[in-house]
Amino acid sequence: DTAVSQTPKYLVTQMGNDKSIKCEQNLGHDTMYWYKQDSKKFLKIMFSYNNKELIINETVPNRFSPKSPDKAHLNLHINSLELGDSAVYFCASSQTGISYGYTFGSGTRLTVV
């Protein structure tokens, strides 16, 4: 069983489209995250949810909207996709108070053309 699973693995879409990425974890963690890794390989946090509540919202365009229906799921919806949104998006989860317990999903490679 995959601990943190993301779908889709690859996503190629045109500028201006709206797309969603889904993430699910079966580790019983209470916190989930979205990270973005750009072409220069920098990994930066975008959002964090703890028990369905948004706790970290970095400077991310409001075209990006996370949704957490329950603590095992965190989805990312992106409106009006732009070329600069092309990146690898990683979902991760952890348990509050245990920083070393991060588990990352395998990533979604988004290409906007």
Q: Where do contacts with other proteins occur on this chain (CB under 8 A)?
A: 31, 33, 35, 40-45, 48, 50, 55-56, 90, 94, 96-97, 99-100, 102, 104-107
Q: Please say which residue, 15 or 98, places its beta carbon nearer to other proteins.
A: 98
Nearest distance from C-beta of residue 50 to other proteins, angstroms: 8
Nearest distance from C-beta of residue 31 to other proteins, angstroms: 6
Q: In 3D, which of 61, 92, 93, 90 has the Cα closest to residue 78?
A: 61
Q: Please say which residue, 31 or 75, places its beta carbon nearer to other proteins.
A: 31
Buried b (16+ CB within 10 A) or exposed e, 51-83: eeeeeeeeebeeebebebeebbbbbbebeebee
